[in-house]
Amino acid sequence: MNTDQEILSNTLSFYDPGPDFSETGVKPLRVQADASKPIPAAENASSSILPCEKLKIVDGNFVDSSGRKRVLKGINVDNSMKLPVTPFSPSCGGNYSDSSNIFFEGDTVSFVGRPFPLEQAEEHWKRIKSWGYNVARYVLTWEAIEHEGPGKYDDDFVNYTIEMLKIVHKVGGIFVFLESHQDVWSRYSGGSGAPLWTFYAAGLQPLNFSATEAAICHNDARFEKPTDSECYPRMFWPTNYNRLASLTMFTMFFAGKVYFPHLEIDGVNIQTYLQSRHRDALAYLTKRVTESLPELVQDGTISGFESLNEPHMGLIGNPDLGKISEVQRIRLGTTPTFYQSVLLGMGLPVEVETYLIDLSGPVKQGTQIVDPKGKKAWLSAEEFAKYDTHYGWKRSGWTPGECIYSGLKIWEWSRAYDLDKINTLPLDTRLEFSTTQCRLLQPGYFNDVSKLSAYLGGKAPPKSLDMEFFLANFFVDFYLDYKQSVRKINKDYLMLIQPPIFTPPPIIGKDDRGVIDDKTVYAPHYYDIMTLLLKNWNEHFNSDSLGISRGQYAHPSLGVVVGDKAIRNCISKQLKFIVQEGKQRLGHIPALLTETGIPFDMNNKKAFEDYKYTLQTTALDTIANGLEQSGLHHTYWSYCVINSHEYGDYWDNEDFAFWSPEDQGKNLGKGESFEECIKNCYPSEDVVRAPSAVIRIFLVSYKGEVKAVEFDIKKSKYSLSLDLNGQSGLSKAPTVIYVPKWHFPDLSYNDIYATSGDVKYNEKLEYLEWHHPEGAGTETIIIKKYTGKMDDVTKREESHAFCTIV
């Protein structure tokens, strides 16, 4: 925690006025050019502002062959990849409480058709490109590749992916990073990612997860109206990270050798088995893509691969299995301790605490009895035989029908009683049995550093088994193995390393294992927690979510900020901190924020009634401003071609899509001028939601250093200062700025001011070249939708009609 003086200084910084642009020496270009004539054309025979090429990493920047730094700005494509096409399985579809439901037919699903149909693909990629975006984080899941069983790859899906990437290349100008996506391990534990068979491999029975609350899915029968946020709470799905199924899978995946050394499949530890299957499935797709699309690899379109999305440390380092961890900030609904979870997993009833979340964090509401009625989260002897035969593996170490944690003597029940008979007794009797005849024996089992002795191989154990240790060891082991598999296929691929969200990356910048090299990119995530949890944008106050999660405040209330300027500065400060922290811990490598975004179903979906995306525009503009202030490359979450107003992105009541087909054909703003439509924050003609924030002016490529940058969305005013001192070859390497017609429909000399140089404009591709003389110093350009004198800017712009955000 910071000192009182640091906290005060930090708080005051939220109320700084923002970037300081000196207008000294800034002159209107119409003075030196004929304002009656159009800006000279920036010649470009291609269909892209700048083509893809293999980018080098130099001093923490992406640098192209001209020596200019490239800014990567784009989007995730597409979060429908979390869901199969056949059968179409939205998270609220099927019945998680019915073991015979088609939802559990995990072997036969197909993701062919994701992210969207091939016949529509060019339209979608061109739309994304038309926003000025030049990078896509291409979402993949392990389940999509290897759903039928271990080693059985879906070649139809792999071939479909290859055909989709060909279309990306045809459209051109979009770099692609492919990533392995997961949320709370799998669709069958409330999220996305891993195939169903991984649970069977672990000895778990997902058919009984609902009854035992080993996981709670969106399509559980308890949620009678799954699209109702009051019935299925906002951000409920992350609670599964702290339930039995997800905790078990992540612990096995990252540290099975340490904590479950006796559990083996096909002669290898469960950790090795799961990691190798995941790695090999991705390697299969990577190899096929690389061999089938050499031209995309050669020209940099396929740029690299990202490690596992938002990994979780499972039970590693848990200090007390009998208590809810203080770091468990997401508590909604029933919130069992892990010990209570294992009791439930053996079919025993438990009285657990229930929670809600408000502005101050989780708030205990009371207690609730959860009764599995004898159903177990573990495979019976018959089920072991069935699945072992079906998937063809041979296992050792499991006791059929029993909890693996009781096998480790972490807890026990009185063996004088037959659990199967106990589970036929009245509820009160069974509750008494859970309380009096069951005991937690080793609450600190996963925090015992002595268990690391074999893993450490003689090295001194850590003082505590915390997130730092997890990241620097178990996570890095996984990452290095995955990195090696990718680099075996192509040594030039960039590797994106991603720690858990809101977690500092490991301190490995100078690590002798060679984790970081000159082709490594830091890939953090960021969301404004208050906006996510409330599904609303509060224009009056917000909080320093990152600072609070890092323990920088004695109490979360001290991280609250008040007022529009403070909120914008607060978001910017958090994003700048992410960049700074990455450099301190990983070295001078680029930071590409591979997820950030906002919910579009804010304020009880009010915007879907009048199509005025005002709050969404404000929220996204605030985040975009922070991204620009921090210099973070980024891919927004997300594009979703199946989005609808009722079901959002069809996954766990989320609605993050920048484009929604349901907004088509509404004839919005009929009879209104273009500027009136913008002021009302209607979707664009191409039904981009909150288009004024989605489609924005930004720096594409440049030499030198960015001194300050800001886009004032209310005034359509963009200001950029570059330090070009000591830069050579400026005359052949102009600064490139994407200047969308959405904000600047009639760009002319009257709209541009600069300290030096001249400009060229490509109207078709909507970008400006700012040409600099050799020997340029600190230079500033201002682009604003205004004609008149420089000293009239404030007065005129304050009355300029624009999206009514404050």
Residues 120 and 27 in one domain: no
The yes-or-no verdict on residue 804 having pLDDT over 50 is: no
Residues 31 and 144 in one domain: no
Q: Are 168 and 133 in contact (CB under 8 A)?
A: no
The yes-or-no verdict on residue 254 having pLDDT over 70 is: yes
Per-residue confidence at 802, pLDDT binned at 50, 70, 90? very low
Over residues 299-314, the mean pLDDT reads 97
Question: What single string gives the DSSP state of each residue in 31-54?
Answer: GTS-TTSPPPB----SSSSS----
Residues 163 and 82 in one domain: yes
Residue 799 pLDDT: 36
Residues 397 and 495 in one domain: yes
Over residues 320-345, the mean pLDDT reads 95
Question: Does a structural domain hold residue 533?
Answer: no
- Where are the extended beta strands (E) located within 17-101? 27-28, 56-58, 61-63, 69-70, 73-77
Residue 329 pLDDT: 83
Q: Are 789 and 778 in contact (CB under 8 A)?
A: no
Q: Which amino acid is at 643?
A: N
The yes-or-no verdict on residue 791 having pLDDT over 60 is: no
Residues 27 and 175 in one domain: no
Among 143, 213, 595, 628, the one annotated catalytic: 595
CATH value at residue 784: 2.60.40.1180
The whole-angstrom separation of Cα 731 and Cα 771 is 7
Tens digits of residue pLDDT in 348-398: 999 999 999 877 778 999 999 999 999 999 999 999 999 999 999 999 999
Question: Does a structural domain hold residue 112?
Answer: yes
Residues 78 and 194 in one domain: yes
Q: What are phi and psi of 211, to 5 degrees?
A: -65, -35
Residue 226 pLDDT: 60
Domain of residue 739, residue span = 22-37+697-798
Residue 3 pLDDT: 63
Residue 555 pLDDT: 82
Q: Are 234 and 653 in contact (CB under 8 A)?
A: yes
Residues 246 and 109 in one domain: yes
The yes-or-no verdict on residue 797 having pLDDT over 60 is: no
Residue 491 pLDDT: 97
Question: Does a structural domain hold residue 232?
Answer: yes
Residues 27 and 83 in one domain: no
Residue 175 pLDDT: 99
Residues 33 and 112 in one domain: no
Q: Are 546 and 574 in contact (CB under 8 A)?
A: yes
Final residue before a domain boundary, out of 523, 551, 571: 523
Residues 285 and 382 in one domain: yes
Residues 27 and 136 in one domain: no
Tens digits of residue pLDDT in 442-464: 999 999 999 999 999 989 999 88
Residues 228 and 179 in one domain: yes
H helix or E strand, kind and range, residue 422: helix 419-422
DSSP conformation class of 667? -
CATH value at residue 270: 3.20.20
Residue 670 pLDDT: 62
Q: Which of 633, 642, 565 is nearest to 596 (CA)?
A: 633
Tens digits of residue pLDDT in 424-437: 999 999 999 999 99
Per-residue confidence at 668, pLDDT binned at 50, 70, 90? low
Residues of the chain with pLDDT > 90, as a percent, come to 80
Residue 522 pLDDT: 99
Write down the pTM of the prediction: 0.94
Tens digits of residue pLDDT in 22-77: 667 889 988 888 878 899 999 999 999 999 999 999 999 999 999 999 999 999 99
662 is catalytic: no
Q: Are 88 and 133 in contact (CB under 8 A)?
A: no
Residue 335 pLDDT: 97
Residue with the bigger pLDDT between 671 and 304: it is 304
Question: Does a structural domain hold residue 600?
Answer: no
**Which region among 20-29, 120-129, 393-402 has the lowest average model confidence (pLDDT)?**
20-29
The yes-or-no verdict on residue 232 having pLDDT over 90 is: no
155 upstream amide cis, omega within 30 of 0? no
For the chain, the domain total comes to: 2
Q: Are 149 and 391 in contact (CB under 8 A)?
A: yes
Residue 663 pLDDT: 84
Final residue before a domain boundary, out of 491, 523, 555: 523
Residue 667 pLDDT: 61
The yes-or-no verdict on residue 803 having pLDDT over 50 is: no
Tens digits of residue pLDDT in 725-736: 989 999 899 999
Residues of the chain with pLDDT > 70, as a percent, come to 92
Final residue before a domain boundary, out of 500, 523, 546: 523
